[in-house]
Structure 1
């Protein structure tokens, strides 16, 4: 039995047909969500594939928040990591023309932004870490989103 926990984050899915509330479940490096009755899963949000069918998420936006501790001065303070993933159009060969991830950490009354970071979650977090005040360290997620 795995010792990894499953984290569930609330968010929104938007495309040309409208918006709907979704949840994103992360277990280890595996992610899963259900959109309009279709299950999607994969090792990265920018590469979620329909379960039991052909197709990947494309031409849409996913937004979700992750509670994330920030360690400073021997204490852990609660912060919120707001995530925005924009997935472009599907190319004829089956890949996306773009996947843009933007993270914003809300901590200590300030907002720290990653800017557009392709779809590399770890690089986006690293950009935020470099902006934090001296001595502040991002906590780790039990699961990662990318």
Structure 2
């Protein structure tokens, strides 16, 4: 995997806004500094203050993670264009984290918006998606024919656990177990994803990319093709 990426972004809440930089290792660690306070989490909706102590600067938390705010950031996103080679696009991401809804009830809202900016055009997911898998599936469907995202979410060697996943990360990479992963044909049985799961190399973020990338096609693995077929 490549080194840490630095994503330029912005943090906004009722107390104001400021430019920030998010540091991502591509797996399950995101860090940033907001109002002089260092934050870290496995996902953008799980950023907690390092050290565990409530910071003096004004923030709102739910279960130790930032909320009642808007997080914005930019991620480089390679795109393969048939007959033209590769392009470097930018994925603009905005995550609005609502207010605590009460004990055991989570947040009253959590909305993810992604916009892929490629060759002067914008390709956006519709409002309402709550994770990167769905958002990037929709972005891919909106791209012109022959244009394909190059990222872990669209890789032949990645899959999700049948029990589900959160906003981002938690995408299992099987690059060191390709032969076994090629045999996966469902959830259970000798060739099911449950049997093969323990062989995955590591967990990665949907927008990451490594040198083992191959475009996903057909009914590969447990989760099937990318983009997935839209619900009828």
Q: Same fold, TM exceeding 0.5?
A: yes
Equivalenced residue count is 143
Higher strand proportion (structure 1 or 2): 1
Q: Where do 1:1-146 residues align within 5 Å?
A: 3-27=1-25, 28-53=27-52, 55-73=64-82, 75-93=85-103, 95-140=106-151, 143-144=205-206
Unaligned runs of 5+ in 2: 55-63, 153-203, 208-232
**Could you say which structure has the larger radius of gyration?**
2
Who is 2:178 aligned against?
A: none
Deviations, residues 85-139 of structure 1 (Å, cap 9, x unaligned): 1010023326322211100001122110012244311221111001111111111
TM-score (norm 2): 0.57
CA RMSD of aligned residues (A): 2.0
The structural deviation recorded for 1:80 is 1.0
Measure the CA separation in 1 of the matches of 2:2 and 2:82: 28
Measure the CA separation in 2 of the matches of 1:14 and 1:67: 22
Query: Does the residue aligned with 2:45 lie in a helix, a strand or coil?
Result: helix
Query: Does the residue aligned with 1:46 lie in a helix, a strand or coil?
Result: coil
Measure the CA separation in 2 of the matches of 1:8 and 1:143: 14
Query: Which protein, 1 or 2, shows the higher relative CO under an 8 Å CA cutoff with sep ≥ 6?
Result: 1
Structure 1 residues 12 and 49: CA distance shift in structure 2, 3 A: same
Query: Does the residue aligned with 1:115 lie in a helix, a strand or coil?
Result: coil
Unaligned runs of 5+ in 1: none
Measure the CA separation in 2 of the matches of 1:13 and 1:118: 21
